[in-house]
Amino acid sequence: MPVAEEKVKKIANAYQNILASLKKRIVGMEDVVEQVMVCLLSSSHALLVGVPGLAKTLLIRSLADLMDLKFSRIQFTPDLMPSDITGTEILMQEENSPNRSFQFLPGPIFANLVLADEINRTPPKTQSALLEAMEENTVSSLGQRFSLSRPFLVFATQNPIEQEGTYPLPAAQLDRFMFNILLDYPNKEQERSIMRLTVSSEPEKIEPVLSKEEILEFMELVRNMDMPVEMMRYCIELCRMSRPGDAKSPAFIKDFLAWGASPRAAQGMILGSKARALLHGRQEVTTEDIVSVAYPVMRHRIILNYRSQADGITPDEIIYRLLASVPSPGGLFHVQKQKYSEKLYLFANRQ
């Protein structure tokens, strides 16, 4: 259904207020903030990949403060147990009675924004406890199911450098994260600003600019927003063309990929592009929205084969070339094609 203009303005204004407030604590990272906000409004989870010290925890904690949401951080370690995440049963004295009984003590997963720090540091059994809660939005204990509060969003982090002693997430579990968000080092000027902001004084306090009820309202608006048929077809076509087994997929897909994107990728692109359009004050999705969300949606869902790994080809290069190969409704990709023409040329010559 069409979204009322005043609702669109409300979301866009709230987003600008969030960006302004975050500048009191965080320098740069505008693209990362946008992707996190898109994921949040899509009621979905995200994987944040970056080396330590890039303010991943500070970003999620600050967003929780700005939206008046309960924040929880779980440090994943090899000895972490599933009950350390979901909660445990303890024997307690019943009130006004000599009897004792087991009662459930909720774990740190009972929060609105959960930061799963270095999720690949813990064994698969513990990872599964978190991922099951992400999928079901419930936790089981003592034969009972406990519902998690809404909104419930998990932002998991991974260090791309140190892989010793880790337990990589299987593709089926990675698929449950809507976005794979890459964080890079700040540029020189940004690093100077970070030093001025953090070394000389305490972090500035920030006040909530949104309530939990407003966030839930925005999430509902994203779900109910109309999507033009041609844009939906474009999302589906991008996913289908990423699969080596599809007869119509480009030759470079068959050469460099073992597996393509699942239907969840199309779902993520549709939801993400709608959320991005609303954040920027628009009632209709454009090709630019889809292109912007295609990278974080697909980069953890396409599986490189041995040839592409040996050649040092990255998922982002595959996605870039896929976007250049599949005709888009608005024909806007030529802008990016000019911007990255040198990169595309180098990639083409790797074959």
DSSP 158-214: E-SS--TT--PPPHHHHTT-SEEEE-----HHHHHHHHHHHHSSPPPP---SS-HHH
Query: Domain containing 160 — which CATH number?
Result: 3.40.50.300
pTM of the model: 0.87
* 153 alpha carbon, distance to own chain's centre: 9
| Residues present in the chain in total | 351
Domain contains 219: no
Domain contains 218: no
Domain contains 220: no
- CA-nearest of 193, 206, 183 to 20 is 206
User: Are residues 304 and 186 both part of a single domain?
Assistant: no
Domain contains 55: yes
Total structural domains in the chain?
A: 2
User: Are residues 145 and 209 both part of a single domain?
Assistant: yes
Per-residue pLDDT tens, the chain, 351 aa: give them: 566 788 889 999 999 999 999 888 888 888 999 999 999 999 999 999 988 888 889 899 999 999 999 999 999 988 988 888 888 877 776 677 777 777 777 889 999 999 999 998 888 888 888 888 888 888 877 677 888 888 999 999 988 876 666 788 887 788 889 999 999 888 888 888 888 877 766 777 888 888 899 999 999 999 989 899 999 999 999 999 999 988 888 989 999 999 999 999 999 999 999 999 999 999 889 999 999 999 999 999 999 999 988 888 899 999 999 998 888 886 655 445 444 444 444 444 444
What is the 8-class DSSP label of residue 148?
Answer: P
Distance between CA atoms of residues 38 and 222, nearest Å? 10
Residues 6+ apart with CB under 8 A from 146: 87, 104, 106, 110, 138, 139, 140
Query: Domain containing 258 — which CATH number?
Result: 1.10.8.80
Opening angle at CA 330, ends 304 and 1, nearest 5: 95
Domain contains 221: no
User: Are residues 201 and 275 both part of a single domain?
Assistant: no
User: Are residues 174 and 203 both part of a single domain?
Assistant: yes
2 neighbors 227 (Cβ within 8 angstroms) = no
Distance between CA atoms of residues 26 and 124, nearest Å? 33
The pair of structure tokens assigned to 131 is 């991922």
